[in-house]
Amino acid sequence: MSAEKIVILTGAGISAESGLGTFRDEDGLWAQHRIEDVATPEGFAANPQLVHDFYNARRAQSVAATPNAAHQALARLEAAHPGEVLVVTQNVDGLHEAAGSKAVMHMHGALSGALCAACENRWPAPMVMAPSDPCPVCAKPTTRPDIVWFGEMPYDMDQIWDHLRAADLFVAIGTSGNVYPAAAFVQDAARYGAHTVELNLEASATISDFAEARFGKASEVVPAWVAEVLGT
Ligand code: NAD
Ligand code: APR
Count of CB atoms situated within 10 Å of the CB of 31: 11
Same domain, residue pair 48 and 78: no
Strand partners for 213: 198
Choose the catalytic residue: 71, 96, 108, 163. 108
Same domain, residue pair 165 and 215: yes
Convert 33-58 to b/e letters by CB count within 10 Å (16 or more is b). Answer: beeeebbbeebbeeebeebbebbbeb
pLDDT, mean of residues 177-200? 97
Same domain, residue pair 124 and 216: no
Instruction: Determine if residue 136 is left, alpha or beta; phi over 0 gives left, psi from -120 to 50 gives alpha, anything else beta.
Output: alpha
In a domain? residue 113? no
In a domain? residue 31? yes
pLDDT value of position 142 = 92
The DSSP 8-state label assigned to residue 34 in this structure reads -
Ligand nearest to the CA of 182: 1
Q: Is 108 a catalytic residue?
A: yes
Peptide bond into 223 cis (omega under 30): no
Checking if the pLDDT of 232 tops 90, the result is no
pLDDT value of position 3 = 57
Query: The domain that contains 33 carries what CATH number?
Result: 3.30.1600.10
pLDDT value of position 57 = 95
Contact at 8 Å (CB) between 158 and 181? no
Tell me which H or E stretch contains 88. Answer: strand 85-89
Q: What is the pLDDT of residues 202-219, one digit of tens each?
A: 999 999 999 999 999 999
Residue 2 banded pLDDT, cuts 50, 70, 90: very low
CA 124 to chain centre: 18
Count of CB atoms situated within 10 Å of the CB of 66: 11
β-pair type (104-106, 85-89)? parallel
CA of 25 to the centre of ligand 2 (A): 7
Same domain, residue pair 181 and 225: yes
In a domain? residue 103? yes
Estimate the crossing angle of helix 218-230 against helix 69-80, to 10 degrees: 20
pLDDT value of position 30 = 81
In a domain? residue 168? yes
Tell me which H or E stretch contains 146. Answer: strand 143-147
Same domain, residue pair 142 and 158: no
In a domain? residue 192? yes
Tell me which H or E stretch contains 29. Answer: helix 29-32
Same domain, residue pair 136 and 171: no
Measure the CA–CA gap between 203 and 210, rounded to whole angstroms. 10
Same domain, residue pair 126 and 15: no
Measure the CA–CA gap between 31 and 83, rounded to whole angstroms. 39
Checking if the pLDDT of 88 tops 80, the result is yes
CA of 24 to the centre of ligand 2 (A): 7
Same domain, residue pair 201 and 217: yes
- Pick out the residues of the known binding site for NAD(+): 11-30, 90-93, 174-176, 200-202, 218
Same domain, residue pair 218 and 166: yes
| Nearest one of 55, 67, 64 to 108, comparing CA atoms | 55
In a domain? residue 124? yes
Mean pLDDT of the chain: 96
pLDDT, mean of residues 159-182? 97
The best mutation among 23, 30, 148, 156 to test binding of ligand 1, ranked by most ligand atoms within 8 Å of the C-beta, falls on 148
Same domain, residue pair 56 and 162: no
The best mutation among 152, 159, 186 to test binding of ligand 1, ranked by most ligand atoms within 8 Å of the C-beta, falls on 152
Q: What is the pLDDT of residues 123-148, one digit of tens each?
A: 999 999 999 999 999 999 999 999 99
Contact at 8 Å (CB) between 96 and 66? no
Q: pTM here?
A: 0.89
Task: Domain of residue 72: give its range.
Answer: 1-20+67-108+154-232
Ligand nearest to the CA of 20: 2
| Structural domain count of the chain | 2
Checking if the pLDDT of 201 tops 60, the result is yes
pLDDT value of position 170 = 98
What sign does the CA torsion over 212, 178, 87, 185 have? positive
pLDDT, mean of residues 218-224? 98
Q: What is the pLDDT of residues 147-156, one digit of tens each?
A: 999 999 999 9
In a domain? residue 54? yes
| Nearest one of 120, 14, 108, 5 to 68, comparing CA atoms | 14
Same domain, residue pair 164 and 216: yes
Same domain, residue pair 226 and 180: yes
pLDDT, mean of residues 90-104? 98
Query: The domain that contains 168 carries what CATH number?
Result: 3.40.50.1220
